[in-house]
Amino acid sequence: MSAATNGVNGKGKLLEVNDLKMHFPITKGIVFQRQVGAIKAVDGVSFDLYSGETLGLVGESGCGKSTTGRAILQLYRPTDGQVVFEGKDLVQTKGEELRRMRRRMQMIFQDPYASLNPRMTVGSIVGEPLDVHGIGSSRKERQERVQELLKIVGLNPYFVNRYPHEFSGGQRQRIGVARALAVNPSFIVADEPISALDVSIQAQVINLMEDLQEELGLTYLFIAHDLSVVRHISDRIAVMYLGKIVELADRDELYRNPMHPYTQALLSAVPIPDPKIENQRKRIILEGDVPSPANPPKGCNFCTRCPRVMDICREQEPTFKDYGDGHYAACFLHE
């Protein structure tokens, strides 16, 4: 059963993720390899996403955020679970049908330096999705579309013959955004799209994404670890820890009333630009290291670091359930 709310602005459900799992096998042996375990990068993630909404997905490095995004887009084929996009389960979809569905969903990658082919011109990079999906009746029409896309993201349309190394980091990320928009998607996974950029450029890219969402009716899964940025751009926020979502709520509700101890610890680390409030706040310092996803702890995944751990936390896994107004949490403290 997925976590659902009433949607954003009354719009319908676009994506439904049910008990999504992405386990990477651990093998032993050189000639005759046998599986001796699995890295549980994503282990039972469920949520819904509504048309025109931005869902922020936050958590520490290595918690499975990016893997979740890639598994939803089927860049990784999930181990188990459902990804229902526009009424169709992508996990069960293959071949040409999956290729057609991929026109409706795209990805903006984290590193604008590594995600663009240095041997291709900007025109070729942005125009490649048009060629792959057979969009445009002629080469001239595709060239005009590429120039239009560059203009939409705030770049000079006459830059089509330049190469990625001739652009700054912010400009490269705009090229990545243009490439994602080329096939007119309805859903975009933004995998930490501003983390590799200068702070002064981050706001420009965020504003661009918000403008494009309004103009084109886009739906975002916005993956990040900067909670202040996530609060600015997201309608709802999901907090992830060691392959599982531990809390999901409206952005203002989450910041006002965090229910899970991990969420409380994350929010205590976000600086507030008011010296009086900042001096009165108590910082929650988590002890120990994040357990290995190859060998997660018994019971609640967070029990080894939780400052409010109870005996039941070490024995049973808490249920991810609604505590009112679409505020979901997986914690025995509230049962």
Contact 57, 222 (CB under 8 A): yes
In a domain, 8, yes or no: no
In a domain, 293, yes or no: yes
| Residue range 318-327, pLDDT digits in tens | 999 999 889 9
| Residue range 178-226, pLDDT digits in tens | 999 999 999 999 999 988 788 888 889 999 999 999 999 999 999 998 8
Q: Which residues contact 155 (CB under 8 A, 6 or more apart)?
A: 171, 174, 175, 178
In a domain, 222, yes or no: yes
In a domain, 3, yes or no: no
Structure tokens given for 119: 């041997």
List the strands of the sheet with 80-85, edge to edge.
34-50, 13-28, 80-85, 88-89
| Residue range 60-102, pLDDT digits in tens | 888 999 999 999 999 999 999 999 999 999 999 888 899 899 8
**191/45 Cα distance (integer angstroms):** 17
Q: 297 lies in which domain range?
A: 13-28+35-334
- Give the pLDDT score at 305: 92
- Give the pLDDT score at 32: 81
**Residue 7 pLDDT more than 70?**
no
**Residue 8 pLDDT more than 60?**
no
- Mean pLDDT along residues 149-160: 93
User: Taken in order 76, 80, 81, 87, is the CA torsion positive or negative?
Assistant: positive
Q: 28: how many CB neighbours lie within 10 A of its CB?
A: 10
CATH of the domain at 42: 3.40.50.300
In a domain, 1, yes or no: no
Q: Name the burial class of residue 325, with classes exposed (0-12), middle (13-18) and buried (19+) by CB atoms within 10 angstroms of its CB.
A: exposed
Number of domains, the chain: 1
| Residue range 226-263, pLDDT digits in tens | 888 898 899 999 999 999 999 999 999 999 999 999 99
- Give the pLDDT score at 112: 85
CA 294 to chain centre: 22
How confident is residue 10, by pLDDT bands cut at 50, 70 and 90? low
| Residue range 46-65, pLDDT digits in tens | 999 999 999 999 998 889 99
The whole-chain average pLDDT of the chain stands at 90
Higher pLDDT pick, 309 / 136: 309
- Give the pLDDT score at 278: 66
Q: Kindly give the pairing relationship between strand 34-50 and strand 187-191.
A: unpaired
- pTM comes to 0.90
In a domain, 6, yes or no: no
For residue 109, the 8-state DSSP code is: -
Which secondary-structure segment (H or E) carries 189?
strand 187-191
In a domain, 4, yes or no: no
Q: Name the burial class of residue 187, with classes exposed (0-12), middle (13-18) and buried (19+) by CB atoms within 10 angstroms of its CB.
A: buried
In a domain, 237, yes or no: yes
- Give the pLDDT score at 229: 87
- Give the pLDDT score at 4: 45
